[in-house]
């Protein structure tokens, strides 16, 4: 009755190249399950590697934006793009990282009403602008963020996370990646 | 730290006209809390009465669409309108009525990927058309729904629920009605 | 050759529940004809009662906004939603209440060029924002209206009228309610 | 209290070049007043001549589309562009040419619900496509119109009238041309 | 293999009315080829005359905006309208008149990043507003342009060029006018 | 007078990590210059590596879609996103790979009028759907592409290239990456 994990074949974990298998098993050990995006992208090992290398560079960084803030960007922009996989999976991570069981839905549905700071609101305004009309980004946007205390490299991070999930949302939507049932209940 | 219930004064339950108080206490007994929309609209008793009379006529009806289907329409159209209150409150009711803890987020974010039947998909396609471009509703829409087994009065129901929440979403957004924390955890 | 009054059956006035019949006959006596929205909604007496109770609470109120201003909000937002019934019927009422035979078309087509005051312009800017992007309503909107002299409850009225006609426009469009010929000539 | 005729200086009729004066006096004799678009564009005689030469070539043509149909195209597309001048002025002409006092508002607000034939509906569907997304016009559009009995040169006419009023609407809106009061009452 | 010049018959130059033939031969002598818009519109001599009379009045004017600036307006607005003919043909003319081989693509794709002055940026902001939402043009737009040193008649020119190419883009798109191969290489 | 390469610091090639330096020097040797995207992204070596690993996996693949077709997808979707860098750089590559000096502008401005095959048209229709409304991708899209002879992994490629440039366009726009002057003249 449940939809398939992806519109494309999903390889057995045992058949994966060693580096992918290691990554998949590590996330399984940490989370208790394998998020479907790992299985779906494993159909193309080279793209899997590039995707998660990019992801980790942006999402696991330890300076500047907090990890919860990085997830806010993912959830707000994935909401704009109507990406079920990313809203559900990253909504769960956001609830956990922010220790707030309401934040996932708030940021996905209307971040303007979420329980966030004015600084975070400015961050999400910019992220959504990058998502919906990046051709209009201008000096004023940079000045507004600077006035909220964001360093230039923080601004790069906001833009790059919004950009990376513009990709990720389209992949998940077009390849039909189904969110794991486990995500829905996490962090409540 | 939490946002207020509404941008407008919220009356004490004790001060409400008897019929409103009775309604509020009944919902409190049934749910364990008073949904904020009751408190917010109680600022205007006459409008409160009309709003809930309309709501009950459409949402509590026992023939035609199931109660879960009625909630699907609310959640899908409220998602389109970015209404946090309605997505959170009716997402909870949908999870409960459909006995599916995933359905709230699925229908709010992208009903095309939700765990619903093709008939329900057609129902939501029409509801979203009423929400976003009602001036284009035509004979073909009615014929498509009839082919899925919807009786004419079912079609009225779909249209009317979408219409009523076009109102409700705008009220909640413009008056700044905050969803109760309780809703987030219900039906998980 | 003329389109039917509604896509749904229209009851005989004689067969209506007493309270509906009384309301319909009263409007007929006052206007000289029965506006089709009364006949169309009479197919569902319970919804008829709720709809007009809400309508009257918002449109017949004697304090705050003038009746002409309330009609301006209806006509401007119905124009945005391309609702023929509401533009034609309420355009007529607006012409009469404002004693200006040009105002119906001006407000429906482009309220920014209508013969209205700057205060009314601000009122319609807000009403149209509630109509098209209510999720973005914020403190600044309230402050702008307050600066034009609107009391908080006036702002509620503007929002609620825009919201109610977001519903009404969708009902009229989706149910296919035809404007009575009489409206076109009224107040010219 | 009334807005000026245009944001730009309006010349005295007596000071106009002879050919413009003749045209203006002819329309005044026929209509009983001088439509403001003549006065506004007379600020630039060369453009006035080109504009009305184009207008007459498309709108006064005696073969193919009827004159009422040509006005339908103007009114439908001007409604889409929210051009008050063109909706009011050409709505009046449409009412007169079609001998139907309701048609102006119907076509301006939602031509899908207007008292027109299916052939005219197809004509307006195409005109509105030219107005809003001309880059997507394709062979199928031509085939649909041919199936409704439109000759190739009729299709050119539909496209060219929609195109000309894409210009005219923007001129009237940007230059701030006010519709004459007389138009509102004509053909009722 | 190449697409036809137009969806409509293209007359032989020898068969054209004398004034059209003269115009066509003049442009051929100057450019080395006949731009297809001349051949396509020659199917309707009266419209050809009006079109080019309007074009010349706006584009060949020797005061106020420079000829390169006039072409910038054409290219920016044609880019917004996705008009291949106008972007290619006027992109070429812009490269030549501005003596900048990059300016055609810059202005067509995103004029905000083009090698232009702040004054020209303001000019194009206004032109694009006239193109996309002319109903919202207001006093503030005129004031902004005046602050950049534009005289009132310069503002008329900007608006009128944007308006004329709103027409021209729709004609070229709907009639299927193919850009001549020669344009692509000019001014590189 | 020229804009900077990026809003962020651009490292000296000599200071780059060895693998980045090698990559940059290789492209310089092949093209005669260093495309600015290499210099801009070199500010973040880890992201540089992931970005180009992804890019190469999708764009340098030797089976399925031709390299020219891959560039068509880039140019069409970058046109939709108004990304000057990507339209200019990949327009040049497309002209070269397709050996058609007109194809860059055609595909960027309106791919529906480009000199491409019906199969390529279907490919770009899907790529643009992934770009603008990926949440609506459905079985019918896959069936349409299959009917044009695309294998499932070709469809993945189309979706993934559109997705990757949804990211790339937003990065280039938000970081302000300027296209090198050399691109404008290549392949003409």
Kindly provide the b/e burial profile for residues D54-79, where b requires at least 16 CB atoms within 10 angstroms of the residue's own CB.
Answer: bbebbbebeeebebbbbbbbbbbbbb
pTM of the model: 0.97
**F63 C-beta neighbours (distance < 10 Å), count:** 8
Within 10 Å of residue A53's Cβ, how many Cβ atoms? 17
* CA E146/CA C46 separation, integer angstroms: 59
Alpha-carbon gap: E90 to the closest alpha carbon of chain F (Å) = 13
Mark the ranges of chain C whose per-residue pLDDT is less than 50. Answer: 1
Upper half-sphere CA count for residue C182 (Cβ side, 13 Å): 8
Tell me whether residues A1 and B115 touch, CB distance under 8 A: yes
Q: Chain D contact for F112, CB < 8 A?
A: yes
Mark yes or no for CB contact C54/B57 under 8 Å: no
CB contact under 8 Å between B110 and A82, yes or no, is yes
How would residue D1 be classed by pLDDT, with cut points 50, 70 and 90? very low
Residue E1 has a pLDDT of 47
Percent of chain B with pLDDT over 90: 98
Residues 124-143 of C with CB under 8 A from A: 135-136, 138
> Is 60 exceeded by the pLDDT of residue B1?
no
**Residue of B135, B137, B140, B141 to mutate when probing chain D, most D C-beta within 10 A:** B135
Two tokens at E46?
A: 């009266």
pLDDT per position as a tens digit, B53-111: 999 999 999 999 999 999 999 999 999 999 999 999 999 999 999 999 999 999 999 99
**Residue F3 confidence (pLDDT):** 85
pLDDT value at residue A1: 47
Strand, helix or coil for residue E52: helix
Distance from CA of E177 to the nearest CA of F (A): 10
Q: How far apart are CA A11 and CA B131, in angstroms?
A: 41
Q: Which residues contact A16 (CB under 8 A, 6 or more apart)?
A: A24, A42, A45
State how far the Cα of C33 lies from the Cα of C92, in Å rounded to an integer.
Answer: 14
Q: For chain D, say whether E50 makes contact (Cβ under 8 Å).
A: yes
**D79 to chain C: which residues are within 8 Å by CB?**
109
Which of B167, B161, B43 lies closest to C162 in space, CA to CA? B167
Q: What's the whole-number average pLDDT of chain E?
A: 97
- The answer, for A95 touching chain B at a CB cutoff of 8 Å, is no
C118's tokens: 């700057």
The DSSP code sequence of C8-52 is: S----GGGS-HHHHHHHHHHHHHHSS--HHHHHHTTSHHHHHHHH
Cβ–Cβ < 8 Å for E87, E177: no
Cα–Cα distance for residue pair B96/B94, rounded to 1 Å: 5
Cβ of C14 under 8 Å from any chain A Cβ? no
Half-sphere exposure of D31 (CA within 13 A, CB side): 22
pLDDT tens-digit series, residues D12-70: 999 999 999 999 999 999 999 999 999 999 999 999 999 999 999 999 999 999 999 99
Tokens of residue F63, six digits: 């089976």
Rounded Cα–Cα distance for residues A59 and A97 (Å):
12
Nearest to E110 by CA among E94, E121, E123: E121
Mean pLDDT per 10-residue segment, chain E (188 residues): 88 97 97 97 98 98 96 98 98 98 98 98 98 98 98 98 98 98 96
Q: How many residues does chain C have?
A: 188
Q: How far A69 CA sits from the closest chain B CA (Å)? A: 19
Answer whether residue A98 shows pLDDT above 90.
yes
Q: Which two tokens stand for residue C150?
A: 């609107």
For D177, which residue in chain E has the nearest alpha carbon? E135
Partner residue opposite A50 with nearest CB, options F50, F81, F142: F50
Q: Check if D175 contacts C (Cβ < 8 Å).
A: no
Closest CA to F118 of F97, F143, F139, F148: F148
- In this prediction, residue A110 carries a pLDDT of 98
**Per-residue pLDDT band at A92 (split at 50, 70, 90):** very high
Three-state DSSP class for residue F92: helix
Please provide the distance, in angstroms rounded to a whole number, between the alpha carbons at the two ends of chain C: 26
φ and ψ of D149, to 5 deg: 90, 10
Q: Where are the alpha helices (DSSP H) in C61-151?
A: 67-80, 84-98, 103-110, 118-133, 139-147
F105 touches chain E (CB under 8 A): yes
**Per-residue pLDDT reduced to its tens digit, A102-143:** 999 999 999 999 999 999 999 999 999 999 999 999 999 999
**What is chain B's mean pLDDT, rounded?**
97
Q: Are B170 and C134 in contact (CB under 8 A)?
A: yes
Confidence label for A3 from pLDDT (cuts 50, 70 and 90): confident
- Between CA B141 and CA B119 the distance in angstroms is 13
Instruction: Please list, in sequence order, all residues whose beta carbon lies within 8 angstroms of the beta carbon of residue C133, skipping any fewer than 6 positions away.
Output: none
Which residue on chain A is closest to C137 by alpha carbon?
A112
State the DSSP code for E8.
S
């Amino acid at each position: 009755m449940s939809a398939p994990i992806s519109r494309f074949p999903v390889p057995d974990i045992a058949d994966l190249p060693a580096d992918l298998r290691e990554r998949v098993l590590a996330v399984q050990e940490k989370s208790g399950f394998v998020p479907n995006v790992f299985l779906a992208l494993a159909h193309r090992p080279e793209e899997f590697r590039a995707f998660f290398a990019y992801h980790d560079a942006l999402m696991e960084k330890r300076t500047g934006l907090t990890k919860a803030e990085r997830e806010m960007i993912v959830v707000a922009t994935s909401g704009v793009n109507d990406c079920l996989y990313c809203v559900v999976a990253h909504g769960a991570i956001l609830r956990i990282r922010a220790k707030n069981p309401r934040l996932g839905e708030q940021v996905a549905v209307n971040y303007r009403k979420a329980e966030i700071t004015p600084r975070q609101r400015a961050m999400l305004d910019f992220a959504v602008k990058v998502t919906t009309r990046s051709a209009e980004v201008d000096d004023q946007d940079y000045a507004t963020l600077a006035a909220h205390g964001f360093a230039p490299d923080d601004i790069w991070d906001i833009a790059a996370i919004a950009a990376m999930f513009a990709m990720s949302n389209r992949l998940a939507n077009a390849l039909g990646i189904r969110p794991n049932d486990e995500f829905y209940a996490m962090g409540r």
